[in-house]
Amino acid sequence: MNIPAEFDEIRPYAPEELPQVFEELIADPMFKAVVGQVMPGIPFEMIAAQMRQCKTNLDFQKAFFYKLLKELVQKCAKGLEFDCSAIKDKSINYTFISNHRDIVLDSAFLCVVLIDNGMNTVEIAIGDNLLIYPWIKKIVRINKSFIVKRGLGLREQLKSSMLMSSYMHYAITQKHENIWIAQRQGRAKDSNDRTQDSILKMMVMGGEGDIFDRLKEMNLVPLSLSYEFDPCDYLKAKEAQQKRDDANFKKSEEDDLANMQIGIYGYKGHIHFHTAACINDELDEIKSRNLPKTEVFTVIAELIDKYIHQNYRLYPCNYIALDWLNGEEKFADKYTDADKAEFEAYLNKQMDKIVLPNKDMDFLRHYMLTMYANPAINHMKAIEA
């Protein structure tokens, strides 16, 4: 396929580019060291030979990432489930727009469950702030990621958004790929998931027709990600206190790396992914209401939020956190005394990991409880709406 050159800087590698990229990675000492940590006991020469046998990006995903992620679920979780029963036509290419919990694993686990359900994997929107080393940038582009440029001035940001939007439409309509994109820039640190209008506005910069035609071309499917436990919860709480105490606080590259590593290898409990149906019919209904243009994106974002919230899988810890925040036992039928003792021990263990000179225990505990309570709050509001 002759992919337009304008996308070269941001798109995933094409299959014909893989042999050269594989050789560059194999020659990279830092990549070799990381592979030795992730796949101990396997000679690097054997891994290099297996890489060279991969003819497509999907070949590479199945040969390496699929197996590693299956093993990760066995070590760090109680299982990974996927309900895609709302998707009636699996031959169509979709844009999965989801809440965002883990920097690496949200899209990675989605690829695993899509393969298990006989569907194509996704091309993944990933911020360039995470591409700290050259080998990381190469690996994510092999893994069907396209690059979202961060930290640009207003004019450059507009230009970058237009390019990304055009690429996403191209990937859906010409490459016949699925796409994954988070509903907002960055993770919702307190798990209060809300779709940013700006994500939808970016999507309609590309494509043809009015804004509804352009969004319908993307075949948007709201996707709910529910991790029982978030291994980075204490890091998110720590960051919240750092931002509270210093308005100019910003995470470092090392902080991003720590979040990536702890998110991957930390304990997650049960993991449940759940899709709604494609919202194209509802976009037609919204169009028929002739809303002012200023309201259209807000209404569509609220629709996506409703489906994401409705399809959460809630766990005992979500109900316990909500009751403890409110000082009541309203949802006591949703958990046992053993569940409470387990969650209390978990919270204490996580909070012990927070190292701060002025550690505010009350603030940190309240923040972590809020993080676990918000999915329950939003889910109940959505199913009552």
Q: Same domain for 190 and 331? A: no
Question: Can you give the residue range of the structural domain that contains 362?
Answer: 317-384
Three-class secondary structure of residue 149 per DSSP: coil
Contact between 90 and 117 (Cβ < 8 Å): yes
Dihedral angle computed from the Cα positions of residues 144, 146, 151 and 152, in that order, rounded to the nearest 10 degrees = 160
The whole-number average pLDDT for the span 16-25 is 97
Number of domains in the chain: 2
Q: Same domain for 188 and 332? A: no
Q: Which tops the pLDDT comparison, 37 or 20? A: 20
Q: Same domain for 40 and 103? A: yes
- What does the pLDDT look like over 166-196, one tens digit per residue? 999 999 999 999 999 999 988 888 999 999 9
Work out the pLDDT band at 258, boundaries 50, 70, 90.
confident
Given a cut of 80, whether residue 143 has pLDDT beyond it is yes
Dihedral sign (CA 102, 107, 112, 113)? positive
Q: Same domain for 271 and 364? A: no
Q: Same domain for 77 and 141? A: yes
Token pair of 365, please? 């505990």
The whole-number average pLDDT for the span 107-127 is 95
Given a cut of 80, whether residue 19 has pLDDT beyond it is yes
Where b means 16+ CB within 10 Å and e means fewer, 116-133 reads: eeebbbbbbbbbbebbee
Q: Same domain for 79 and 127? A: yes
**Torsional class of 186: left (φ above 0), alpha (ψ -120 to 50), beta (otherwise):** left
Mean pLDDT, the chain, rounded, equals: 95
* Domain stop point among 313, 347, 376: 313
Three-class secondary structure of residue 197 per DSSP: helix
pLDDT of residue 310: 98
pTM: 0.95
The whole-number average pLDDT for the span 286-305 is 95
Given a cut of 80, whether residue 294 has pLDDT beyond it is yes
Q: Same domain for 224 and 341? A: no
Task: Evaluate whether residue 256 is within a structural domain.
Answer: no
Q: Same domain for 79 and 216? A: yes
Task: Evaluate whether residue 141 is within a structural domain.
Answer: yes
Task: Evaluate whether residue 74 is within a structural domain.
Answer: yes
Task: Evaluate whether residue 240 is within a structural domain.
Answer: no
* Domain stop point among 313, 342, 374: 313
Work out the pLDDT band at 289, boundaries 50, 70, 90.
very high
Q: Same domain for 309 and 323? A: no
- What does the pLDDT look like over 306-337, one tens digit per residue? 999 999 999 999 999 999 999 999 999 999 99
CATH number of the domain to which 114 belongs: 3.40.1130
